[in-house]
Structures are given as C-alpha cells and as structure tokens.
Structure 1
Amino acid sequence: MTHTSFYPVGTPGQPWGEAELNQWRARQPRLRRYDVDVVPRIEALANRFDRSVYGRTDYAGEAYELLALGSRDFDPALPNALVTGGVHGYETSGVMGALAFLEARAADYAGRVNLLVAPCVSPWAYERINRWNYDAIDPNRNFRPDGPAREATALIELVRGFGHPFLMHIDLHETTDSDEGEFRPALAARDGKAFEPGLIPDGFYLVDDSANPQPDFQQAVIAAVERVTHIAPPDAAGEIIGSPVVAHGVIEYPLAELGLCGCITGARFTTTTEVYPDSPRTDAEECLRAQVAAVCAALDHVLAHGSPGSSRPSE
C-alpha cells in the first residue's frame, strides 16, 4: 500500500533541483563537532597506530580531513581486517564503537592481525546528524570508484592503496527512529516518489552479503552481541526492514549491486552491524558496547577459521 508523507522541501511528485537542494542544506545546522568529538581521540591513538589522511572534503568552505588508523607493525604473514564507522554520520555508535575498539580492545589483536580502521567516514554528516552528505547523497549507496560521494571514493582509494587483500571487513551502523521519521521521507521527496512507511526493528541485527554468504561468521557475531544487547526479531512477515530473515538476527543484501560499503574490499568475511539506540530496552552505552563486541567476535572468528591473506573463495 502506498502512503503519502509531507516533507518540508520540494513539491510532492517532483524530484529536487538545485533550489530544493539548497533549501535542504539550509535545514542542516552543525549540531556537533568532528574536530572536538572525533579528531582528538584519533590523534591520541596516533602513538599506537599509523595515522593517515586518506582524503579531504570541502563543502561550502567547511573542510574535513578523512582519517584512518592502521597497525604500526604491518606483517604480510598476518590477515588484514578493515573496520569502518560513520558511513552514515548520524549513526553515532558506529563512530564511537570504532574508536572504543581501538582504545580498549585493539591491543588484544596486536601481532595477530593487521588492522585498518576508518572511524568516521562522513564527517560533514556526523556534524549534522544526517544520513546524507552535503550534496544530499547517501554514501552507502555509492561505493563505486566513479561514484558521486567523495566520502565513498576516498575510502575505496584507501583500500586500494593498502596493497594487500583483506580477509575481513565489518561496517558499523545503526537503525534509528529517524530513519522512518526523517530520512526515508526525505529520500522519497528528493526523488519525487511517494513515501511508503516501514517498521523499525527493535534490536541488533546483521547484514550479510547475498553474493558471498558466511552464515557461521554472522552467527558468531550474533552470539557475542547477544550477551550485550537484544537481537531484533523478525516482523510478522518474517522480515527485517523488508528483507527475509535468513538466520537469527541476520538478513542479506547484494552489497556490490547496491553500492554498499561492505563490498569495497572483496573480503571473504563481511558484515554490517545495525543497532537500535532508540529502543526502550537499551541505551547509548550498551549500543557502543555491542559494536565493540561485534568487532571482537568478527576478528575472533576470522582468526580461528580464516586463512591469512585470503579473500573470497574462488568457487
């Protein structure tokens, strides 16, 4: 069933032009500071990890360095793992979870895995608590080398420049009530389409790659996170956000086809986390701990069951 929903930018049924885009931009005030919340924590970690500036964005005179941290003593005999957060800037526990992992748990994996971590992929959106970048583009639908989101293409270039195959990539996300109250209505308005309401799942879940499913890997992460926070149940149709639940707390997307961040390494083991910070059954601190637990469980599984340096199996 198709429903309509008023969004205060644009004319219903008509895609946005430059005037509407500027109107939308005017509605995006800076609500928090990347240079206060994120950059100092990255700089504090630079005495333990190699810090790199892998790109820069400049939107209407507001410039942001895109920062990553990597294992200082790279060992080509060890497996390589990528952790990303803040692809959607408003998903706070993705950013803070990546930083908390580096601060509190990454040392546990020293000499066992080469880590590369990009804690806040979309700084402009982080500051606006928004899903899109300055151009009203969702980076997480545009991870392709020729794509329009600089945040995405810069991360692709970082991965390519690493020069070694990744065995694992975990991308840290949230699903929030604002998805349904703001971002999906904005998407419909931007594209001149009718808004069709959906359901926000209450709890943590994972998104596997339908082109490269790794069910044991996903369940290892779910089992660890379930000790921290609750797992989202399927809805009455057996789905989470419109996708069939294939296992406890797991759905699948075609990552490369959709241009999602999880496709960029070609790693054998990939997953996207989704926590629900608006649930009455949890809070921000628990969501952060769930993200850290997910990263650690993913690494533990890969170290136990993966082979160093391998990417996706050829079969």
Structure 2
Amino acid sequence: MSSNPYPIGTPGQPWGASEKSAWLASQRIQRSYADEVERHILALQDTFNLEQYGQLVYSDGDYALWGLRSKNWQPELPTALVTGGVHGYETSGVQGALRFAQRHAADYLGKVNLLIAPCISPWGYETINRWNPDAIDPNRSFYVGSKAGESVALMHWLRKMDVAVTMHIDLHETTDTDNSEFRPALAARDGKTHDNWNIPDGFYLVGDTFSPMPQFQRAVLDAVQDVTHIAEADENNQLIGSPLVQFGVVNYDTKKLGLCAGVTDALYVTTTEVYPDSPKATPEQCIQAQVAAIRGALGYVLKLKA
C-alpha cells in the first residue's frame, strides 16, 4: 500500500537544494552523542587503542569519529571488524557494539584482532536519523567517490591500516519508522513512488550474495535465538521484500549497493537487523541480541581457525 505524500517536495520530482535545506531545517537534536556514546568509547582507553579516524563538521556541531583497535595486535591472528550506527537512529547497533567492547572483548584476547567502530554516524545518532545532514544515506555510500563523510572516513581508516579482515559484522535495526518516515523520505528525495514493505517481527540477517556463508549465518542466528526471537518470512517467503535464502536470512549484493557490509573483502560478512518495535522485545534485549550476534560470529570463525 502506498504511503501518503511526503511533506517536503513535489511528488515525482527529485529534491533540489531548497528541498534538502527544508528537510535539514526540520531535524532536531534529540539525544547526546557525547554523553551516550563518546564518553563510553573514551573510557575504553585501557582496553583498546583509541583511534580518531575522522572529524565531521556540521552546523549542529563537530563530531569526532572513534575506532577501537586491539592493543595486543598480532598479525598472525584473524581480524574481525564490528561496525555500528551506520544508520545513527538504530540505537541497539551503537549500544551493542559498545556493550561488546566493554564486557566481552577481553574474552578474545590473543585469539582475534578486533576493530570496532561503534557509531559511524553520530549526527544521525543525535537526530535519530537514517541520513546525514546532506540527505545522504551513509549505508549506501561505501564506494570510491562517495560524498558521505561518515563512509569516506571509515574507508580511509581501513585503507590506512591495510589489514586483511576475516570477519565483518555490521549492526542494524529495522524499525516501524522505516515505513512511516525513512522510506517515504527516500522516495520523495529521489522523485519516485514508494510502497511499504512488511516489517519483520524479530531478528534477521542480511548476508552477502557473493559470500553467503550459510553456516556462518546459521551460527549467528543460533547464538541470537537464546536472547530474542528470529523473524518469520512473510506470505511471499520474503523479508523486507527479498527472498529468504534460509530461515532468518536474506542476501544483498553489498558492494553494488554501497553497503557498509561490503567495505572490506572479508570472507565472513553479515548485517544484523533487530526489530526494536516488537511487543516481544525490550530495548535491553535488542542490545543483548547484537552482542550475542557478535559473539556467535566470532565463535564460528575461531572454531574454524582452531
């Protein structure tokens, strides 16, 4: 069912500068990146090497971009990348990455090299937004020539380190606001029509079409289902408009779409999707599900390397 016209722009006509300015003017700071995220990252300096890999300068303020890197880096060990907050409004991805770093990273000391970027889009975190202030989706912007500063900064950090990443898990949510706000805004921005998709009730994964690794995906889901429920397919055997490839999993061409999950050439790649609006899940369960997904992913990779 098509949604009502978006309040900004003319239906069927892509946005220009004035529409983007009107959209930006409608955004408001609703929470603090410094208080809820950055201070917790900085508190991890005894556990990780803190690396400021970028600085975003926006009208609402400047935002330091922080990465966490294992102190005991050992080149012979596999390297795992954990990313959160590519879409800043997806709270459990940010808090799940932090929770893992705070409470569980020590369990992997001497077993795996960890790279963690807990909040790639801090302005999006503060305004509870999918886009950056330029009305660009960072999670469609991981490619050469990208205009999203959030994406460019992460890509530069990874290139500078020049390490082979074995596993990458990117932490996301699918929310009711995807249908009520973000997809209608996307359609309006691009001058297209929009049809709502069914929001899955539960946790699911997005694998990579060209590196699907179904057993790896299964291991992640097995870890998560002890915390929260896995989403069932809709009447078309789909999740968010994509065909199910196994229970709880769909695949995307991550590199073609410019997704964060395609930012490396890691063999084991997955994107988590938590449903925080479910009547069967609490915010705490959503954070725990993200942590369980990270641990399930690492456990699978380390078992293979044993």
TM-score by length of 1: 0.95
CA deviations over 1:254-304 (Å, ceiling 9, x no partner) = 000101001111001000000000000001000000000000010010011
Instruction: Give the 5 Å matches for 1:145-156.
Output: 145-156=144-155
> Is the CA contact 1:5–1:194 (under 8 Å) kept in the aligned structure 2?
no
TM-fit CA distance, 1:4: 4.8
Alignment-derived partner of residue 251 in structure 2: 252
Rounded Cα–Cα distance in structure 2 between residues aligned with 1:85 and 1:124: 13
Alignment-derived partner of residue 109 in structure 2: 110
Alignment-derived partner of residue 27 in structure 1: 26
Q: Which amino acid aligns with 2:190?
A: D
Instruction: Give the 5 Å matches for 1:57-96.
Output: 57-60=56-59, 62-96=61-95
Partner-residue secondary structure (3-state), 1:121: coil
Rounded Cα–Cα distance in structure 2 between residues aligned with 1:142 and 1:232: 27
Task: Give unpaired runs (5+ residues) of structure 1.
Answer: 308-315
Q: Following TM superposition, where does structure 1 have runs of at least 4 consecutive aligned residues deviating by more than 4 angstroms?
A: none
Rounded Cα–Cα distance in structure 1 between residues aligned with 2:237 and 2:285: 26
Alignment-derived partner of residue 163 in structure 1: 162
> Is the CA contact 2:65–2:120 (under 8 Å) kept in the aligned structure 1?
yes
Rounded Cα–Cα distance in structure 2 between residues aligned with 1:107 and 1:3: 48
Alignment-derived partner of residue 130 in structure 2: 131
TM-fit CA distance, 1:77: 1.1
How many percent of aligned residue pairs carry the same amino acid?
A: 54
Q: CA RMSD in A?
A: 1.0
TM-fit CA distance, 1:305: 1.3
CA deviations over 1:54-95 (Å, ceiling 9, x no partner) = 011111262111101110011011110000000000000000
Rounded Cα–Cα distance in structure 2 between residues aligned with 1:60 and 1:260: 26
Partner-residue secondary structure (3-state), 1:257: coil
TM-fit CA distance, 1:141: 0.7
Alignment-derived partner of residue 39 in structure 2: 40
Rounded Cα–Cα distance in structure 2 between residues aligned with 1:147 and 1:154: 10
Partner-residue secondary structure (3-state), 2:250: strand
Rounded Cα–Cα distance in structure 2 between residues aligned with 1:4 and 1:90: 21
Rounded Cα–Cα distance in structure 1 between residues aligned with 2:170 and 2:305: 18
TM-fit CA distance, 1:3: 2.7
Alignment-derived partner of residue 313 in structure 1: none
Rounded Cα–Cα distance in structure 2 between residues aligned with 1:12 and 1:184: 14
Partner-residue secondary structure (3-state), 1:28: coil
CA deviations over 1:156-196 (Å, ceiling 9, x no partner) = 11111122201000000000000000000000111111121
> Is the CA contact 1:132–1:139 (under 8 Å) kept in the aligned structure 2?
yes
Alignment-derived partner of residue 191 in structure 2: 192
Alignment-derived partner of residue 312 in structure 1: none
> Is the CA contact 1:83–1:116 (under 8 Å) kept in the aligned structure 2?
yes
Alignment-derived partner of residue 56 in structure 1: 55
Q: Which amino acid aligns with 2:130?
A: R
Rounded Cα–Cα distance in structure 2 between residues aligned with 1:4 and 1:273: 26
TM-fit CA distance, 1:23: 0.6
Rounded Cα–Cα distance in structure 2 between residues aligned with 1:210 and 1:61: 38
Count of equivalent residues = 306
Q: Which stretch shifts more, 121-130 or 55-64?
A: 55-64
Q: Which amino acid aligns with 1:123?
A: P
TM-fit CA distance, 1:146: 1.2
Alignment-derived partner of residue 281 in structure 1: 280
Alignment-derived partner of residue 304 in structure 1: 303
Task: Give unpaired runs (5+ residues) of structure 2.
Answer: none
TM-score by length of 2: 0.98
TM-fit CA distance, 1:306: 4.3
> Is the CA contact 1:137–1:149 (under 8 Å) kept in the aligned structure 2?
yes
Rounded Cα–Cα distance in structure 2 between residues aligned with 1:189 and 1:163: 39
Rounded Cα–Cα distance in structure 2 between residues aligned with 1:149 and 1:306: 36
Partner-residue secondary structure (3-state), 1:6: coil
Rounded Cα–Cα distance in structure 1 between residues aligned with 2:178 and 2:115: 29
> Is the CA contact 2:3–2:184 (under 8 Å) kept in the aligned structure 1?
no
Q: Which stretch shifts more, 92-101 or 151-160?
A: 151-160
The answer as to 2:171 corresponding to 1:172 is yes
